[in-house]
Amino acid sequence: MIGQFLLAFRETLEAALIVSIILAYLKRTRRKRLLSYSLYGVYIAIAASLTVGVAVWFMFGGLSGPLKALFEGTAAVIAVFVLSSMIVWMARKGREIRRELERQLEAVAARNAIMAIVGFSFVVVFREGLETVLFLTPFMVEDATGTLVGAGLGIAVSLILAYTMFIFGMKLNIGRFFFVTSILLVLLAGGLIGYGVHELLEYSKDVGVETGWLGSYAYVLDIPESNLLHHKGIVGSVLAVMFGYTVKAEWLRLIAHFCYLVGALPLVMLVYKKSVPKTRQN
């Protein structure tokens, strides 16, 4: 549930900040009559995102056996790829997002095109919603209840924070916030890539594909499922989501997890360091 909370919180806050930028710009440039149309685009995007989420659940939520393992593994690997791309993109462009959004919005608003405003708001919010659905899909198939609770809490907390910032002018160091959450998401993605590889190995075994020593266990901990430290226990589940902890892991799972962290963590830190203005580095 921790991972689902963090993913939903981060994505929802991004969407909320983007909507705040759009509304503030329209208000500042005295285009208040376009505010409601911008909100229509937001509402449609939310409805479309929920529809996609429900459709994915109905299509894949009932899978079992080898197909379930194949879908979970593939979905996890794809989610990690998209999540990693989003983290790096935000690290590079996060400080310019307001200026870029306002430039695009001005081009649309200058034409006074109502449908263009609706479409613009829809696209920028639906993108975040679609990413959220994609990231949560592997969790949803494995634990629907925990995913719904975690995602619901993440969305609620992020909306409260965004509302407080927008209405009461509460200040938040956006750069530092995205840096910290990006590191947490990289750790989460490392565990997710390991989980995805594990499921693909399970699928390989089910269909009779030999994986050799890569599919054999690197270690097996003698921890019963009833123990709090089991990866399905209260303590172990938190460690599992954030660090990829498990009581038994195949060699390929460990290698994939390790290689991802070794590559992703330094890259994200380097990109964020380069994105800091020189005046602040000195």
| 163: in domain | yes
Q: Which amino acid is it at 81?
A: F
Q: To the nearest whole percent, how much of the chain has pLDDT over 90?
A: 13
| 161: in domain | yes
Name the one residue in this structure whose structure tokens are 């639906």.
Answer: 126
Q: Provide the residue range defining the domain that includes 150.
A: 2-277
pLDDT at 129 over 80: yes
233 φ/ψ angles, rounded to the nearest 5 degrees: -80, 175
Average pLDDT over residues 208-232: 88
| 68: in domain | yes
Question: Rg of the chain over CA atoms, in angstroms?
Answer: 21
Mean pLDDT of the chain: 81
216 φ/ψ angles, rounded to the nearest 5 degrees: -85, 160
Name the one residue in this structure whose structure tokens are 């959220």.
Answer: 132
Q: How many domains does the chain have?
A: 1
Q: In the structure, what pLDDT confidence band is assigned to residue 2 with cuts at 50, 70 and 90?
A: low
Give strand ranges (E) for the chain: 217-220, 248-250
Q: In the structure, what pLDDT confidence band is assigned to residue 170 with cuts at 50, 70 and 90?
A: low
| 282: in domain | no
| 132: in domain | yes
Name the one residue in this structure whose structure tokens are 């285009």.
Answer: 31
- pLDDT, one tens digit per residue, over 251-278 is 999 999 999 999 999 988 888 777 665 4
| 196: in domain | yes
| 85: in domain | yes
| 152: in domain | yes
